[in-house]
Each structure stands twice: as C-alpha cells, then as structure tokens.
Amino acid sequence: MKRRERTRHLIELGGLVVKAGIIELTEDDRAVMLGLLVEAAARLRSDDREQVLTLWRRRGMRTFHDAADRAMRTIGSD
C-alpha cells in the first residue's frame, strides 16, 4: 500500500472510532481503547465469530444509515 493510501486508510479508521463515540466514552484513554480492540479481536477468534460479525455488521450499517439520515435532515433544514 502506498504511503498516501495508507495515511488515508488510517484516517478513515480513526473516523470510525470518533463516529462510534469511543473517545468520549473512554475519556480519550488509549489503554482502554486498545483493550476494547483486543477484546473484540478475542471475540473474533472464538467459535461464535460469524454470529459476532453479523451482529456488529448490522449495528455498524444501522449507525452509518442513521448518520446519513441526520446529515440529510441537517442539509434540508438550511
């Protein structure tokens, strides 16, 4: 991956952390955030991996959809 593409990718991943509200919920505690990610990785290594992925994917898609709806309402109110 080229440097510029990698940088963009990392910025987008950071945006997901912001969108999920993790920074505020952890009071920007990097150790807690890493612990969250390590816990998620452990769940993905478990026998219920597919169920976890399905649940998280649905929640993520719902969050993306809700954010898009809020953005459209904001644009429409201008």
pLDDT tens per residue across span 24-67: 999 999 999 999 999 999 999 999 999 999 999 999 999 999 98
Domain boundaries defined on the chain? 1-45, 48-78
Tokens in use for 54?
């399905």
Of the candidates 23, 61, 55, 25, the one whose C-alpha atom is nearest the C-alpha of residue 40 is 55
Using a 10 angstrom Cβ sphere, with 0-12 exposed, 13-18 middle and 19 or more buried, the burial of residue 33 is middle
What span, in angstroms and rounded, lies between the C-alpha atoms of 77 and 40? 38
pTM value is 0.78
> With 80 as the cut, is the pLDDT of residue 78 above it?
no
Continuous segment of H or E residues that includes residue 52: helix 49-76
